């Protein structure tokens, strides 16, 4: 109880302070409070990721990191993973076990990574309007990374998925709203709905569950974020029932926002118990699972893990919580990129993205460098990449990508 009261006191003090601290700073102190004296804000295990080099104008000044299994099959899926505040791509991978699962199931991973120059505590800026609109800021940087890695490794455009925790979960909401044609599915862990905040004070309020826009306003924000007309991505929502950092009512708001876009009833199609936790599912008329929700009883703020047994994935740490269920594995099964373990999963038909042509503004931004923002040097590609697909330089990689865009009628 003293931890909960202390966390609440920190948040209250922040909102009273006329010189309001950045939201990321508060989250860092909450993390230290909960994790104890041994907390390391950017500590991580073994770094399995490589750098993706030149991927476009990068208006959000983000870093791009990737993991590609050596035996990656042709036209493999791509999973985009967005870390939370105080985390790095490698640290979140080590905790969540995504690269372990990629080795087992044969898909590529992209980890967009925040930089301290953008946010001192490495939070994606999910509440900054210039970073959360289609073809601008951090959202466009992530979109450019996706295009670059899909072209470079010949990945399946119909199976691009995205997930994230906390600020990364809120940024996942941004990407699904701004580029719904790109993604077959998304998974939001302890996140917030798109369009819920546009300022730091609003972000604090929404995290506490106060003053949220109405369902109708959130639904309009989602529809207005892009010119897309559907079909829309499937959505997986995970939240701890005792989360004191991001109130669990945000999960309800996310579900309501996406139920409307899918035209689904308020009541779930069915409810069941999975690994001891309740799962609610909303299906369309064809029986296709479009929305799922896991509300983890007694869990605080973080990514749900199962680190025991033969199916164990990830490692416990700050915001990485061993509660007997692997969100990583179950999200991948929901998307259809991991083997099912029960008959119910075998019957699920995963959605595929309905990619539309890129907007002209994206094509221009992709080929226009941002002044003063160098791209991260590219490490050597993995052995499974055919020599004919290995550009000799950043300029070569850009040529390959631009040629692919032109051949698809997406760039002139």
Rounded to whole angstroms, the Cα distance separating 331 from 162 reads 10
Choosing from 166, 226, 326, 327, the catalytic residue is 166
Residue with tokens 């990656």: 72
Tokens found for residue 144: 């450019």
> What span, in angstroms and rounded, lies between the C-alpha atoms of 324 and 328?
12
* Distances from the Cα of 150 to the Cα of 110, 158, 266, angstroms: 10, 11, 36
Strand-pair category, 277-283 with 270-274: antiparallel
What pairing do the DSSP bridges indicate for beta strands 108-113 and 63-67?
Answer: antiparallel
Query: Which of 389, 346, 311, 370 minimizes the C-alpha distance to 149?
Result: 389
Q: How far apart are CA 181 and CA 228, in angstroms?
A: 7
Helix (H) / strand (E) element for 161: namely strand 160-165
In a 10 Å sphere around its CB, with 0-12 CB exposed, 13-18 middle and 19+ buried, how is residue 298 labelled? exposed
**Strand partners of residue 271:** 280
Nearest-angstrom CA–CA distance, 128 and 151: 29
The rounded distance, in Å, linking the Cα atoms of 159 and 351 is 8
Q: Is 50 a catalytic residue?
A: no
Six-digit token string for 146: 């996706």
Query: What's the CA angle centered on 359, arms 357 and 364, to 5 degrees?
Result: 125
What secondary structure letter does DSSP report for 377?
A: P
DSSP per residue over 264-289, as a string? --SS-SEEEEETTEEEEEEE-TT--E
The full DSSP string for 306-338 is --SSTT--S--BTTEEESS--HHHHHHHHHTSS
User: Which of the residues are catalytic?
Assistant: 166
């Amino acid at each position: 109880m003293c931890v909960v009261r202390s966390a609440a006191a920190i948040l209250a003090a922040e909102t009273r302070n006329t010189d309001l601290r950045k939201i990321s700073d508060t989250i860092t102190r909450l993390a230290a409070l909960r994790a104890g004296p041994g907390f390391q804000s950017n500590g991580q295990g073994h770094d399995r990721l490589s750098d993706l080099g030149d991927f476009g104008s990068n208006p959000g000044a983000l870093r791009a990191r990737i993991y590609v299994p050596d035996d990656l099959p042709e036209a493999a899926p791509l999973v985009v993973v967005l870390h939370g505040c105080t985390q790095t791509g490698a640290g979140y991978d080590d905790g969540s076990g995504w690269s372990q699962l990629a080795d087992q199931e044969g898909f590529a991973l992209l980890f967009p990574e925040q930089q301290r120059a953008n946010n001192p505590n490495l939070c994606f800026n999910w509440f900054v309007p210039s970073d959360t609109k289609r073809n601008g800021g951090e959202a466009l940087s992530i979109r450019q990374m996706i295009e670059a890695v899909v072209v470079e490794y010949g990945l399946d455009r119909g199976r691009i998925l995205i997930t994230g925790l906390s600020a990364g979960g809120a940024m996942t909401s941004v990407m699904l709203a701004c580029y719904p044609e790109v993604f077959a599915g998304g998974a939001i862990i302890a996140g917030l709905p798109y369009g819920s905040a546009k300022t730091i004070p609003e972000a604090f309020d929404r995290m506490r569950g106060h003053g949220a826009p109405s369902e109708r306003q959130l639904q309009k924000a989602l529809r207005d974020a892009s010119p897309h007309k559907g079909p829309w991505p499937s959505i997986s929502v995970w939240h701890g029932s005792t989360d004191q950092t991001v109130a669990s009512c945000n999960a309800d708001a996310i579900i309501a926002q996406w139920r409307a876009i899918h035209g689904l009833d308020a009541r779930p199609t069915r409810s069941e118990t999975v690994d001891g936790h309740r799962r609610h599912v909303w299906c369309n008329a064809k029986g296709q699972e479009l929305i799922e929700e896991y509300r983890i009883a007694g869990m605080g703020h973080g990514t749900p893990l199962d680190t025991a047994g033969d199916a164990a994935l990830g490692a416990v740490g700050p915001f990485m919580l061993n509660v007997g269920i692997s969100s990583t594995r179950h999200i991948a099964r929901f998307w259809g990129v991991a083997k099912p373990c029960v008959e119910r999963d075998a019957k699920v038909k995963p959605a595929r993205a309905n990619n539309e042509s890129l907007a002209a503004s994206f094509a221009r931004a992709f080929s226009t460098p941002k002044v003063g923002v160098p791209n991260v040097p590219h490490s050597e590609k993995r052995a499974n990449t055919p020599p004919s697909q290995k550009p000799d330089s950043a300029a070569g990689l850009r040529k390959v990508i631009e040629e692919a865009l032109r051949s698809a009628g997406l760039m002139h």
